[in-house]
Chains A and B, each alone.
Chain A
Amino acid sequence: MTYSYYPGCSLHSTACEYDISLKAVSDVLGIELKEIKKWICCGASAAHQTSHLLALSLPAKNLAEIEKENMTEVLVPCAACYARFKTTKYELENDPELLQDISKIIAYPFENKVNILHPLEILSNGMSTKIKQYVKKDLSKIKIVCYYGCLLTRPPKVMQFDICEYPVTMDEILKNAGVDVLDWSYKTACCGAALSLTKTDIILKLINDIFENAIDVGADAIVVACPLCHSNLDMRQNEANKLFNRNYNIPIMYFTQVLGLAFGLKPEELSLNTHLTDTDELIKKID
């Protein structure tokens, strides 16, 4: 299996762990990722708050590049990029005039035919036996909760990803890898990552609620599929501790890192040592 690969800006910088662990897990499962040669930023939240045409043109420029490379499917691990790509595809499918405008803007006769996939989708579709087959390490001692955040599932008519208010895709994948996955109430609650750099006081309340519920149900770690959720939850625990007089020190891991551990890969191969919240104690539990 070969997919076109759009890492997005975060995975080349602050979320390098996601990029590294996704590639490591793909290697094990025989999934080949072919990075788009000259990809550009998708515009994220800043573009759609400023200009509708810009918000569609930036993802379309990348999708056009995939069409030029004669690929039909692209893997987009960042939930924010994934949402922008899916929104672009959806809106242009439903508005031929808009498709013409975008083609003019990106100077390419855009066909809008590329299928946009999140790694969770390819790992859930018929991969369960394969995942079970590659499990080498017993992870049943670690208890985790799966955090999906906003953009993977919302809005459902565009994303068409699982059940929007109660997704289970990541839970099922990690259960197949032998992890003890717990149920909780904050699967799709917003962590406010869009405001993390600008209105930090607001997001501290949101992440405090998320940590509180994760700890109440007995989780050792929160597992995510979005680099923005990750940095927001991983980096701001000390600030939440100060503001709410708490004592959080809960590892935030990408689902690809957990899968990698189950496949017997070493923590360094999955970049588990570069998070700001320490993962050492969690790793000791499985050694």
Chain B
Amino acid sequence: MEDLLHDSFDWDFANKVQVIAPQNINLCYQCKKCTAGCPIAFKMDYSPSQIIYAARLGMKELVLNSNTIWLCASCETCTTRCPQDVDIAKVMDAARIIARKEKFRPSVKEIPIFNKTFLQNIRIFGRLYEAGLTVFLKLRTGEFKKDLDLGIKMIKKGKLKLIPSFTRIIEINKMFSRIKKLEHTRI
């Protein structure tokens, strides 16, 4: 609670969320339907409806330091049920994008690491190389033993492709650079 009172109100942040999402979060009247239906709410420090409220007030530190924005599984239940047609899942995406750009230390480190590793994997291989993704993920999170038994079982069943293929990587990397340039001029 003390943290809440010390948080500053940053209107620029409130606007940024609305522009990037792009959603009018001021339509939210706090019915809390999003929170009631959220499958992950039980592990979140602030519920989805609290995050929307805080974002409206420009409480940047609270939103970007929450575990909520990272734990959201993008299941879109909130978006589907919102009576005011606010796409809450997109607000969570916008918050993640701002957190990354402004170099906030994520409160759940594994998820941004997963996203980064996943996208690097696309730039290197063009298609997802699942075995490679798992190895790189382990190197970055340090959780070497996690899911090792599952990996071995999958290899035995012939489900995990061990040799990668390469598809259109030059074109894909050009796309990534064009996007970077465009976004640099806009956000």
Contacts and interface: CB of A to CB of B under 8 A. Distances in A.
A155 interface: yes
A44 B122 CA distance: 11
B128 A41 contact: yes
B36 interface: no
A79 B126 CA distance: 20
A28 interface: no
Contacts of B97: 49-52
B78 to A, nearest CB: 10
A270 B165 CA distance: 25
A190 B74 CA distance: 9
Interface residues of B, number: 57
Nearest to B172: A40
B183 interface: yes
A197 B114 contact: yes
B176 interface: yes
Interface string B140-153: 01000011001001
Contact of B168 (A16, A38, A46, A53): A38
A104 interface: yes
A172 B116 CA distance: 40
A47 B119 CA distance: 7
Interface stretch (A122-130, A139-147, A198-206): A198-206
B167 interface: yes
Nearest to B114: A198
A202 B154 contact: no
Contact of A53 (B93, B110, B183): B183
A245 B160 CA distance: 29
A104 B110 CA distance: 33
B77 A154 contact: yes
Given A49-B93, A150-B76, A44 B111 contact: no
A43 interface: yes
A57 interface: yes
A13 B80 contact: no
A12 B161 contact: yes
Contact of B74 (A45, A197, A202): A45
A238 B126 CA distance: 33
A202 B40 contact: yes
B181 to A, nearest CB: 10
Contacts of A199: 43, 71, 108, 110-111
A195 B73 contact: yes
B71 A151 contact: no
B77 A197 contact: no
A45 B76 CA distance: 12
A13 B160 contact: yes
B75 A198 contact: no
B20 A52 contact: yes
Nearest to A205: B42
B179 interface: yes
A150 B111 contact: no
A29 interface: no
Given A49-B74, A199-B110, A57 B159 contact: no
A205 B41 CA distance: 12
28 contacts: A9-B128, A9-B130, A10-B130, A13-B159, A14-B130, A14-B154, A16-B158, A16-B159, A41-B126, A43-B122, A49-B74, A49-B111, A52-B20, A53-B179, A57-B179, A105-B175, A106-B175, A150-B77, A155-B87, A192-B39, A197-B134, A199-B43, A199-B71, A200-B146, A200-B147, A274-B157, A276-B153, A276-B157
Given A9-B130, A14-B159, A45-B74, 8 more contacts: A38-B168, A46-B116, A47-B119, A53-B183, A105-B179, A150-B75, A197-B147, A235-B153
Going nearest first, the 7 A-B pairs with the smallest beta carbon separation are: A9-B128, A46-B118, A190-B75, A154-B76, A198-B110, A150-B75, A46-B115
